[in-house]
Amino acid sequence: MKTLIRMALMTSLAAFGATSVEAADVTGPGEKLARGNDLTPAVRVVNNYGDMVRVYAEDSEGNMHKLGRVARGDLVKFDIPEAIASSPFRIKVYPSQPAWSLQIDDYAVKTNPLNLQGDTDVTVWLEPDLTRSIVEVSRG
């Protein structure tokens, strides 16, 4: 019943051109996420943070490679390019706001250097308080 009411509310807000709706939290760690048939290392970002985030892969030489953006309340999977995954790399997630957050590493949720095999995924569970975010590494 709650879902039906929420769906009706969302539909009516969309019909009237509402541009902002509070996002619901995405389920937490421990729930197995579906994996594709490919054997490319991937990072999944579950964004329960209050704003859009930017996701980067930092290669072993310190170069940042933009993987994409994740809107609030969304789950997005990014494949790690082979050129980056072939040596240890780090995943870094920065809030889109403030604009200077990319310049200060303390604003990022970041992993230790990762050396992933083809069937390994990284899931980053962002929380409203970024210091409580969780990074989970799992094999296929």
In a domain, 115, yes or no: yes
- 95 is written with which tokens? 């809030």
Percent of the chain clearing pLDDT 70 (strictly above) = 66
- The band of 121, judged by pLDDT with boundaries at 50, 70 and 90, is confident
Mean pLDDT across the chain, nearest whole number?
Answer: 77
Say which CATH number the domain at 69 has: 2.60.40
Give the integer Cα–Cα distance in Å for 106 and 49: 16
* Band (14; pLDDT cuts 50, 70, 90): low
Q: Is residue 3 part of a domain?
A: no
Quote the domain boundaries for residue 33: 25-139
Judge whether residue 15 has pLDDT over 80: no
Average pLDDT over residues 124-136: 93
Tens-place pLDDT, residues 36-69: 445 678 999 999 999 999 999 999 999 999 999 9
Overall number of domains in the chain: 1
- pLDDT at position 115: 87
Report field, pTM of the whole predicted structure over 0.75 = no
Mean pLDDT of 83-110: 82
Residue 7 lies inside a defined structural domain of this protein: no
pLDDT at 107: 75
Query: What would the DSSP string read from start to end of 44-112?
Result: EEEE-SSS-EEEEEE-TTS-EEEEEEE-TT-EEEEEPPHHHHTS-BEEEEEESSSGGGGG-GGGSEEPP
The closest alpha carbon to 140, from 36, 64, 54, belongs to 36
Residue 14 domain-assigned (yes or no): no
